[in-house]
Every structure is written in structure tokens, then in C-alpha cells.
Amino acid sequence: MRAGEEDLEFVSQDKQISEADVVVIGAGAFGVSAAFHLAQSGLRRVVLADRFAPGTQSSPRAAGLFKNVQGDETRTRLARLSIGKMLNLEAETGQPSLAVRSGSLMLARTPEHAAFAKREAALAQQWGIEVERVDAATVRRLMPLIEPAGLLAAYHIPGDIYIEEPVTLLQAYMKAGERLGLIILPHTTIIGIEINRGAVRAVLTSQGRIETPVVVDAAGAWARAVGEQARARVPVVPVRHQLYITEPIAGIEAHYPIVRFIDTAVYLRPARKGLLLGGFESDPLPLDPRTRPEGFSMDDVPLDVAVLDQHTASVARHVPVVQGAAINEHRGGLFTMTSDGRFLVGPTPELRGFWVLTGCNGSGFSFAPALGQMLAEWVMNGAPSIDLASLAPARFAIVPLDEDQLRAACVWQYGHYYDLA
Ligand SMILES: Cc1cc2nc3c(=O)[nH]c(=O)nc-3n(C[C@H](O)[C@H](O)[C@H](O)COP(=O)(O)OP(=O)(O)OC[C@H]3O[C@@H](n4cnc5c(N)ncnc54)[C@H](O)[C@@H]3O)c2cc1C
């Protein structure tokens, strides 16, 4: 069974619905979290629609990593909130806990990256994150598979976590949402947004019309296409990302830390008794579903093992077990990149009642718990409890980039994931 193909029988199928308080488009990490939090905050008629089986596109293909050390204070607060929510998942949703409290190691192998890591660590500490510089012996004790000779700096972040099978978090939010009355509509494509006097009036779906004053565009790689239905600009560029999971390797323990090599932007973690490895190539592949045949899905994203071979080679000196390890699964999906590398969340300036939750920039899975809560607070109370003005769509309304500029900026952001200037 591959990621995303798990049994989704719990989904509330076959419901005929013609009115809703809010319709969330897309049951990926962002959509399921937004829908759960909207239902949790007291809205009675929350609808979550997906063109495919819910939870089967980019999100279940994620590595499942949650990272405390972030480039700015807003992201740090959101990351900490997300991790806290994962540690508290059972109490909040009634669903079994999923977080593996592995901690992580951030490793630098060049003087520039050592200086960068030092700065990141200092800033993270200033924002309340526990980060400790550790020596080679400690690296070895925490992660016996690492050969530390040649590392210039290593930092331990004990609070980082991962989720072994990302699809389980999507299922947890959907099941918990259903208990609160959330209606999930699988295989229901939003094909139009009805507008009345500058405000959302209804969504038109492949199964019929649903009247609603609020729509959340959480359509992932299709978010831009959905935005066009509402005549709202959603300037994201989907870009491919891949990883692999090896066959079991003797001696790997689930509690071993996540490892990040910042110079080559490669990450590893324990997975299914083997190792999961993924990374960010400097010349990535943008891929817009709008230019693909109708019916395009993440199964159609072309995978390229050569990219992962390069990542493997780039870390093999320090993690020798990855060289030649047998591969059990190779998977990939699409990030939604923005030109400034930040999320895109909040109300759109073009259309009242039309909200977006996208622009994952490679971290949508881990930020979805926090951003779903923020979006629900924003819809319900008029403002989120963490100031998200810097992430709101209005920032792109001032001087829109043309198509070539947008693509170039988004591709650049992808290539600089760990070392944003
Ligand atoms: C290999 C890989 C590894 C990753 N690792 C991590 C990680 O470790 N940590 C992390 O934080 N992030 C990670 N990510 C990024 C993360 O997966 C994404 O940020 C996240 O999945 C984005 O979720 P989403 O809800 O936007 O997209 P999706 O999960 O793709 O959901 C969007 C949904 O919208 C639906 N949809 C689209 N159009 C319509 C329509 N018109 N009508 C109805 N439904 C529609 C789609 O069918 C889809 O189900 C990784 C991604 C990949 C590919």
C-alpha cells in the first residue's frame, strides 16, 4: 500500500447538501486542519470537498518533519504552536497521538553554513526554542549512524518531532471533524464560484450547488486555478519535491533524531525501520496542473531518481549506511511556492468571503495544525491570535509580478529552503 491509499471509509459520503456556513476546498493537510478547526470553533455546517479521495495528494507524500528553528519570529511561533498541538493531539481531537519525539540535528559542513547555523540557533534561542551546540561525541551518541569527522558545527534541537505516516494526521483531523459535524465530500470538484455584489454566494461542484458565504481555497497545487474561478489572484507556483524510504536497516531506532545537512539541503529520519531521505535540488522542476490534462493527480508527477542519487551521494560520507541501501518507496508531490517564501493565508482582497490557505513553501504539513487554527480564528473572530499580516494575500496585490518573474522567484525560494537570505 502506498502513501495515501489507506482505507478512508470513515468519510461521510453520499450527503446531499445545498447550504453551508463554510466550504473548504481541498482535503490536504491545510484543508483538513482548517475544516476541523472551523467545526471545533462552533460552526455547524462546515463542508470539506475534494476532487479525489480526501488526503491522497501532496500531503500523504510528505516526510512528516516538524521543525522548531525557523527563519523569523512569526514562523517560529507558528511552528511551536503546531508541535504543541501534535503533542496534545489526543486531548484536542480524541484521536491517538502520532508524534515521535525524536529531536533533530542541524549539521554544517562549510564555514559559511557553520556561521549560518550559529545565527539561526541564536535567533531561535532568542525566540524561546531550545537549541544546543553539541560536539562530535554527542552527535555520535544521539545518532550512531553518523560519522562526525569533518562536520564543522552541530546543533541539537530536542523539541523537534516527526509523524511516521503523514496520512494518519489527515485521517485524525477528518475523523475528529466528523464527530463535530464536519461533512466531507470526496470526489467532488469545485468547478465555479458564484459571486454576488463582490462577495461569495455559492460554490458550484461536480455534484451540485452549495450556497455559502465563506470559501477557503486550500486546493494545494490547484489553488491558483480555484482562485481564478473567484477572480482572485493566488500567486503560487507548484514545484516538485521527492524523497525515498529504504528497506529496514539493522540498528535503526525510531527515536533517532531527524538530521539536516544545511549545505546540500538534505534531510533524513528513521522510517519503517529504515531511513527516509529527501532534499532540495538547486534546479527544481516547476509543474503547473493548469497546463496538464484534466484529471492530473500527484500520481502523474514524474519522479527522477537521479535527483535523490545526488542527495544520497552528498551525505554518504557522513551517513555511510545510505550508500547502496535498497529503496522500498520513492515518492514525490508538489510544493506551492510563493515569491517571498512565506505562506499565503487569509482573506483575499478581491472577493469578500474568499479565503486562501496555501503557499506551503515546503512546510505545509507541519504548519497546517497551527495555520488551520489561525484561519478558523480569523474567520470567526475577525483576527487570528498570532498576527499574520505578513502572510496575508494582500501583500501581493500591490505590485504583482508577471508570470516569468513569479516563476523565477518561486524556483529561487525552493533552491534556498534551508538558507534563506
Ligand atoms: C516529498 C515531500 C516531502 C515533504 N515533506 C514535508 C515535511 O517533512 N514537512 C512539512 O511540513 N511539509 C512537507 N512537505 C510539504 C507538504 O506535503 C505540503 O506543504 C502539504 O502537503 C500541502 O498541503 P495542501 O493541503 O496544500 O495540498 P494537498 O495535500 O495536495 O491538498 C490539496 C487538495 O485539494 C484538492 N483539490 C484541488 N482542486 C480542487 C477542486 N477544484 N475541487 C476540490 N478539491 C480540489 C486536491 O485533490 C487535494 O487533495 C513535503 C512535500 C513533499 C511532496
Pocket test residue of 36, 56, 59 for ligand 1, highest count of atoms within 8 A of CB: 59
Ligand 1 atom at shortest distance from the alpha carbon of 366: 11
pLDDT band for 14, please (50, 70, 90 cuts). low
Pocket test residue of 267, 354, 360 for ligand 1, highest count of atoms within 8 A of CB: 360
Above 50 in pLDDT, residue 395? yes
Q: Which residues pair with 329 in a beta bridge?
A: 245
Q: How many residues does the chain have?
A: 421
Nearest of 242, 241, 247, 262 to residue 321 by alpha carbon: 247
Three cell numbers written together for 31: 484543508
Pocket test residue of 342, 365, 410, 418 for ligand 1, highest count of atoms within 8 A of CB: 365
3-state DSSP assignment of residue 377: helix
Q: Residue 9: its pLDDT value, please?
A: 52
Q: Residue 7: its pLDDT value, please?
A: 44
Distance, CA 332 to ligand 1 centroid (Å)? 11
Q: Residue 201: its pLDDT value, please?
A: 98
How does DSSP assign 158-217, residue by residue? TT-EEESSTHHHHHHHHHHHHHTT-EEETT--EEEEEEETTEEEEEEETTEEEE-S-EEE
Ligand 1 atom at shortest distance from the alpha carbon of 188: 43
Q: Residue 219: its pLDDT value, please?
A: 98
Distance CA(124)–CA(115), nearest Å, equals: 14
Ligand 1 atom at shortest distance from the alpha carbon of 240: 53
CB burial of 116-139 (b: ≥16 within 10 Å; e: otherwise) equals bbeebbebbeebebebeebeeeeb
Nearest of 15, 346, 39, 360 to residue 173 by alpha carbon: 39
Q: Residue 3: its pLDDT value, please?
A: 42
Model pLDDT for residues 26-81, shown as the tens digit of each residue: 999 999 999 999 999 999 999 999 999 999 999 999 999 999 999 999 999 999 99
Q: Which amino acid makes up residue 296?
A: F
Model pLDDT for residues 354-365, shown as the tens digit of each residue: 999 999 999 999
For 206, other C-beta atoms within 10 Å of its C-beta total 12
Three cell numbers written together for 342: 512565506
Distance, CA 57 to ligand 1 centroid (Å)? 6
Model pLDDT for residues 174-191, shown as the tens digit of each residue: 999 999 999 999 999 999
pLDDT band for 398, please (50, 70, 90 cuts). confident
For ligand 1, atom 25, the nearest C-alpha belongs to: 28
Q: Residue 245: its pLDDT value, please?
A: 98
Above 60 in pLDDT, residue 205? yes
Above 80 in pLDDT, residue 309? yes
Chain centroid to Cα 421, Å, comes to 21
Distance, CA 121 to ligand 1 centroid (Å)? 29
Distance CA(361)–CA(336), nearest Å, equals: 6
| Contact partners, residue 87, CB within 8 Å, separation at least 6 | 97, 99, 101, 161
H or E segment to which residue 245 belongs:
strand 237-246
Ligand 1 atom at shortest distance from the alpha carbon of 31: 25
* Ligand 1 binding residues, C-beta < 6 A: 25-31, 49-52, 57-59, 61-65, 189-190, 218-222, 226, 241-243, 278, 332-333, 335-336, 358, 360, 362-366
Above 80 in pLDDT, residue 13? no
**Axis crossing angle, helix 364-381 with helix 73-87, rounded to the nearest 10:** 100
Above 70 in pLDDT, residue 102? yes
Structural contact between residues 326 and 203, judged by C-beta atoms closer than 8 angstroms: no
For 325, other C-beta atoms within 10 Å of its C-beta total 20
Above 70 in pLDDT, residue 156? yes
| Contact partners, residue 311, CB within 8 Å, separation at least 6 | 264, 266, 277, 278, 279, 281
Beta strands in 11-124 (DSSP E): 22-25, 46-49, 65-66, 99-100, 104-108
Above 90 in pLDDT, residue 418? no
Above 60 in pLDDT, residue 8? no
Distance, CA 220 to ligand 1 centroid (Å)? 5
pTM summary value:
0.96
Structural contact between residues 262 and 328, judged by C-beta atoms closer than 8 angstroms: no
% pLDDT > 90, the chain: 93
For ligand 1, atom 15, the nearest C-alpha belongs to: 362
Distance CA(54)–CA(48), nearest Å, equals: 9
Q: Residue 400: its pLDDT value, please?
A: 83
3-state DSSP assignment of residue 76: helix
% pLDDT > 70, the chain: 96
Distance, CA 30 to ligand 1 centroid (Å)? 7
Pocket test residue of 5, 57, 165 for ligand 1, highest count of atoms within 8 A of CB: 57
Distance, CA 400 to ligand 1 centroid (Å)? 25
Structural contact between residues 396 and 231, judged by C-beta atoms closer than 8 angstroms: no
Ligand 1 atom at shortest distance from the alpha carbon of 59: 21
Q: Which amino acid makes up residue 82?
A: S
- Of 2 and 373, the structure prediction assigns the larger pLDDT to 373
| Contact partners, residue 294, CB within 8 Å, separation at least 6 | none
Nearest of 15, 16, 13, 47 to residue 31 by alpha carbon: 47
